[in-house]
Structure 1
């Protein structure tokens, strides 16, 4: 192999004869100096190099490689004509650009800097695996390429049959690639699917594969809704600058007019933010339900949303995620995308701003919340403004050498929360009762005739979901624990803690809110809070120390390829009784679900407003069997015992949270779990809580996931016994089914459904449930088909959900589609098929 360094416009006389295969490297420049001709030099590698003095032509043959200014030209034979400054390459010719783009050709005719010239039988593959092919192409100054009778695609050729056309391609009489504009221009073009023309474009342009964003029209979106009419949205993306852009989306609706939306996004050196505004002047507001079931005759509607996150340094960041709507129905009526919404059976928009910091073993979080309810049953004045919420947590290791052998670790956990609310939020125990005016808002009955009696906001027939007024609470807990392992393998973890809480309560008992509809009237009065709290304004402090011990003794056995671990667990915690639990607010500890996950928690309440008291023991056992190849079986079973003092879970509070928890008796219900995963393609888990007296199931959760060949399925079943003390008077039971089948390598079908096995329809006019045995009812249903490969993604999905508005059940149907032709185009859209009233419930 001969290696020669050639200066542009000059060739060494030694090339007048055939060079030997011995490698000859160019002499380097002296240290500290710069060779002025370095950028113009061409490095040539070949088995044979010949310089003909008579014709002034340099010939290279045998695995020829030429390197010049980041470009590499490879071929079996290369001829350089010094008279014309042209380079000719043929035989497996290949040109690699500095950005990784590779061009193949049967023959190259280029200038000596490789920037301009002609290429026969051209095939270009970019670093993003896009392909341009043509019988002949012309390059100009390395910036413009003109390809005659050419094709463009991002699809890879079939390995078994490369002669077959790709899934899609653009075939044009001429394709012009302007690198300086990062654009591809197609003239007299056809879009082909499997080689069959399906669309003709006399002129077409698209960004080249190097473009991440560029100004222009985006894929349109089409919709239909019986309240909106037919609609079409044509978004325009404006790439204003490298760091910010704007998207304008006018949507023309045949029944309501023009819905306008504008979104501004900007990325800064330490973060990014966006602002989105949406608005419409409705032409036909009467298409929507009358207030309060809908917006009535409101003409101007809209929303403003903004989100951002910025990093102060590697440990600290601040941000926000805020949405404000003109009315609670706007999001659902116009099917808007919203980043702040969490959609379950209850839909709400939670706006927040925050400052967070993370240390090596510490965490700080300061934030506030504004909540806007978006379902018809929400009364906005019952939504709290939570500002601020401060959390700080720090773990400190304790050096035994400096603490007389104590060691272990100390954890500090603090929280401060302040909230305010205009209207108290009440709810009845047992059967739910709504207001007589509209059948939308929760009121409370007397205990004797819950469905028909006038409201009576008193315990035990009523409980308080949220206070009206101002409430502040500061909590701090310091905990120490250390793990010891004795000579026989027992694991002992003693721990001690001290908890301090201080609360301030200022109730608003003066305001009331009246709902009137004809002769029907209902009143929500904040004065009724006096039935639940001892004092309108009060201060309260609580100090609760505690000590405890956790004991575990794992037994390990090996049988063949199986490893068995059995671990009995016992835990005891001693502390004083919980003070003042009955007449204090409970805002953040209303979610109490006793199961295997919190059996060994020192405090099973979910928030800071309640804290476990008395002497309690938790006992159980865990068994794990692991297979040699990743599989396992795990089981846990246990129970909790109140040994001394008052049982906090038997002590009712204003939110009635503990009465049906399974912890209200001194000997709790049993809880257990069995999880089986023989391999990565199959797993099953069963969880439950069982009555302590007769072992009847109180809660059951079953879930299984299986993947066999190209089929993936998931099944979930849940059943919860009635919890009348917190407003669930009937058994809740349902099934979730999902499935996906992949076939023919790139195609798939999917389906999902939620089935309510124990529906009880609620009549918001009479305030009564249909207690007859109902057949299982669909809560939601969806299915879809799709295709996905390296160049194309396509899917179409249908979904339907069932809702109740103004005491009328309806079915909402939506079709969504997505099509992405990699590097060429992308389209997403949805069409709402309208709302259909149903008479049979489903």
Structure 2
């Protein structure tokens, strides 16, 4: 901006007094110097002193987008200094300010008297009504160089009623996204800390890094210090959060002593194909994290990785993994270290026949202080070729070859419940081939849309593997669920340490009705039949016998505002359920209702070993333009107790946010079978937009 440039103006009428050097302009006056513009009904400019005076509907437009209104303005020093009477202003961030008078110095400082500030728009029905919230102060300073507004003797008014007083208050003026200074304090009450307050300080170190220090002062604990550091590079970013503190004796947690935690991550782009990163998470204990509200976690994972991408055709990843158990009841000796884990895959694209080939390899070395230590090499080749015949049938040929090799130590001490014992090594290969046939039969239902009936049969064959895989380590195939999702998979195990063998036939019937409005009613039912029983499947898995359990899926969505999706697995002989998962959503206007039901039997290799039989209900709605409320709950009907309850309510408009949340998780003491709320949270948040957020939390 050229601050030494001349003052240029236009007006309906102009007078010039050569004796005094005063220029007077009247009627739709617009004067500017550099990027500052002044509009008024009357404007006088003394060429000898450089003083300009404007009156009548005065508007002053600043280079940063601020617009100031006044009854009378006197400006000097190239419009940089001045006195304003009856000031009103629209700030760059959308805030509104009013004062009886103001003085500007050096073009960067505004001193205001009897000032009122708010980010709320005037009420359309009653513009003179007080805004939802406003800050009122005896004096205030708008520092355009520091980009900050500072108040003296300030009060917060809600609906025109004073609710809070402070002798000093400051906040950013909204023209910069990052600024050093104290952030809004956070208040709360917990059974571990008592009453507490967080006082965060934000330090914008430079354009690429910042640091937030957050001391926690409480009535039951010594002060705790938390920190968060962030930095961006041209090739990546890092972020680290941590804390140090001390737990006093006699707390509800039953522990005391020095505590700390570090949660950090980094992501870096090496070149157009390669990137690397790390996640480092460590802590002194779960109770320390719980007490100072840094998150309740049972274990912490840490990783370091490098991976490369070459379009959709190829991908490779190398990583190292370590886990820290935080609960004293866990046996840390069986927590694994994965050093390293290597995965790579390659896709050939469509070949001349229309099929495609995928090659991958997944190799790792797992070490434990006690229990099984495993080294494994695994490679897979997968080929798929689809064809459509003259009758419309879809034929798909699939083939999958797995080759694996293991070495292990202390197999009989593994935490994954396999048997065998000692150290050893083994190598296996497994070939699976399948021919999949399905015939989509479609007929028009006229104005009711179209209907589909699709039978599907798949023949899968390969060598019988028996139960020999149970004598090998199982690191990646513990979590298993037979459903419609993997009915037609060549191997139903998700990993490589367990392989499915033998010859089988999979069959399913799918039907669907597609409505003209986009609605759909769909159902699928199917099961699997094998020649020889596969001993690698547990008896309760649904695949333990030659004929499998029934699996099915139903989806009802006849209209856009209603949908139900259900999945189930039923015993092949008795029809007794082994898994049921149903979710439904009903939307009426701005209100959405949800309901769910879940029933699962325990998995042999996972915790907890208890049947889950739960129902859930939820509702969320918008009330008018600004309010939204919701509630959600889960109840275990097997043991007749609640699992979770949550409720929330929020109001939000252009200048104000009020939010309340209540969450209660229930647990059962295994020693006494007594039900108790394991985690109860009450969160209140008040946001004054352009000023800051204020919160209260109780546990």
User: Fold-level match, TM-score > 0.5?
Assistant: yes
Which residue in the other structure is 1:351 paired with? 302
Preserved CA contact (<8 Å) 1:116 1:141? yes
Q: Are 2:673 and 1:811 equivalent residues in the alignment?
A: no
Aligned pair partner of 2:475 in 587, 609, 613 = 587
Question: Distance in 2 between the 1:696 and 1:550 partners?
Answer: 30
What are the superposed Cα offsets for residues 85-135 of structure 1, whole Å, 9 maximum, x if unpaired?
455566665444333333344555445954343444433223321111234
Q: Which sections of structure 2, spanning at least 5 residues, go unmatched?
A: none
Preserved CA contact (<8 Å) 2:436 2:456? no
Which residue in the other structure is 1:126 paired with? 91
Gap change, CA 1:639 and 1:138, over 3 Å in 2: same
Aligned pair partner of 1:651 in 501, 512, 535 = 535
Aligned pair partner of 2:357 in 393, 410, 417 = 410
What are the superposed Cα offsets for residues 707-741 of structure 1, whole Å, 9 maximum, x if unpaired?
33443332221112466787777642012223334
Match of 2:541, SS state, is coil
Which residue in the other structure is 1:605 paired with? 493
Q: Are 2:378 and 1:475 equivalent residues in the alignment?
A: yes
Which residue in the other structure is 1:755 paired with? 635
Gap change, CA 1:608 and 1:527, over 3 Å in 2: closer
Shift of 1:66: 5.5
Shift of 1:479: 2.1
What are the superposed Cα offsets for residues 611-632 of structure 1, whole Å, 9 maximum, x if unpaired?
2222333332334444444x42
Question: Distance in 1 between the 2:527 and 2:111 partners?
Answer: 79
Shift of 1:83: 4.8
Question: Distance in 2 between the 1:729 and 1:703 partners?
Answer: 24
Match of 1:790, SS state, is coil
Which residue in the other structure is 1:840 paired with? none
Shift of 1:530: 11
Matches within 5 A, 1:75-94: 82-86=47-51, 93-94=58-59
Question: Distance in 2 between the 1:181 and 1:38 partners?
Answer: 20
Question: Distance in 1 between the 2:561 and 2:55 partners?
Answer: 52
Instruction: Say which is worse superposed, 689-698 or 721-730, in terms of deviation.
Output: 721-730
Q: Are 2:591 and 1:704 equivalent residues in the alignment?
A: no
Matches within 5 A, 1:391-790: 391-400=343-352, 406-423=353-370, 468-507=371-410, 526=413, 532-533=419-420, 536-553=423-440, 555=442, 557=444, 559-560=446-447, 562-578=449-465, 580-629=468-517, 631-644=518-531, 646-647=532-533, 650-652=534-536, 658-721=538-601, 731-759=611-639, 776-790=640-654
Which residue in the other structure is 2:276 paired with? 318
What are the superposed Cα offsets for residues 296-331 of structure 1, whole Å, 9 maximum, x if unpaired?
xx5333323322222223543222222222234332
Aligned CA-pair RMSD: 3.4
Match of 2:473, SS state, is coil
Shift of 1:826: 1.8
Shift of 1:823: 1.9
Shift of 1:60: 7.1
Question: Distance in 2 between the 1:230 and 1:530 partners?
Answer: 47
Which residue in the other structure is 1:364 paired with? 316
Preserved CA contact (<8 Å) 2:634 2:642? yes
Which residue in the other structure is 1:801 paired with? 665
Gap change, CA 1:92 and 1:527, over 3 Å in 2: closer
Preserved CA contact (<8 Å) 2:337 2:366? yes
Preserved CA contact (<8 Å) 2:37 2:61? yes
Match of 1:693, SS state, is coil
Question: Distance in 1 between the 2:215 and 2:351 partners?
Answer: 65
Which residue in the other structure is 1:196 paired with? 161
Preserved CA contact (<8 Å) 1:285 1:299? no
Gap change, CA 1:570 and 1:140, over 3 Å in 2: farther
Gap change, CA 1:756 and 1:105, over 3 Å in 2: same
Q: Which sections of structure 1, spanning at least 5 residues, go unmatched?
A: 1-7, 9-36, 290-294, 342-346, 401-405, 424-467, 510-525, 760-775, 833-842
Which residue in the other structure is 2:336 paired with? 384
Q: How many pairs were matched up?
A: 692
Matches within 5 A, 1:283-302: 283-284=248-249, 288-289=253-254, 295=255, 299-302=257-260
Question: Distance in 1 between the 2:16 and 2:251 partners?
Answer: 91
What are the superposed Cα offsets for residues 425-465 of structure 1, whole Å, 9 maximum, x if unpaired?
xxxxxxxxxxxxxxxxxxxxxxxxxxxxxxxxxxxxxxxxx
Shift of 1:153: 1.2
Gap change, CA 1:39 and 1:660, over 3 Å in 2: farther
Question: Distance in 2 between the 1:80 and 1:679 partners?
Answer: 71
Matches within 5 A, 1:49-448: 50=14, 52=16, 57=23, 59=25, 61=27, 68-73=33-38, 82-86=47-51, 93-106=58-71, 108-111=73-76, 113-226=78-191, 228-284=193-249, 288-289=253-254, 295=255, 299-337=257-295, 341=297, 347-361=298-312, 362-375=314-327, 377-400=329-352, 406-423=353-370
Match of 1:381, SS state, is helix
Preserved CA contact (<8 Å) 2:418 2:472? no
Question: Distance in 2 between the 1:626 and 1:748 partners?
Answer: 34
Shift of 1:222: 4.3
Preserved CA contact (<8 Å) 1:530 1:536? no
Gap change, CA 1:758 and 1:219, over 3 Å in 2: same
User: How does the TM-score come out when normalised to structure 1?
Assistant: 0.74
Preserved CA contact (<8 Å) 2:372 2:414? no
Question: Distance in 1 between the 2:689 and 2:268 partners?
Answer: 31
Preserved CA contact (<8 Å) 2:22 2:44? no
User: How does the TM-score come out when normalised to structure 2?
Assistant: 0.88
Which residue in the other structure is 1:428 paired with? none
Gap change, CA 1:220 and 1:727, over 3 Å in 2: closer
Question: Distance in 2 between the 1:567 and 1:415 partners?
Answer: 36
Gap change, CA 1:74 and 1:572, over 3 Å in 2: farther
Gap change, CA 1:497 and 1:723, over 3 Å in 2: closer
Match of 2:470, SS state, is coil
Question: Distance in 2 between the 1:69 and 1:103 partners?
Answer: 17
Gap change, CA 1:194 and 1:691, over 3 Å in 2: same
Preserved CA contact (<8 Å) 1:175 1:185? yes
Preserved CA contact (<8 Å) 1:106 1:122? yes
Gap change, CA 1:178 and 1:528, over 3 Å in 2: closer
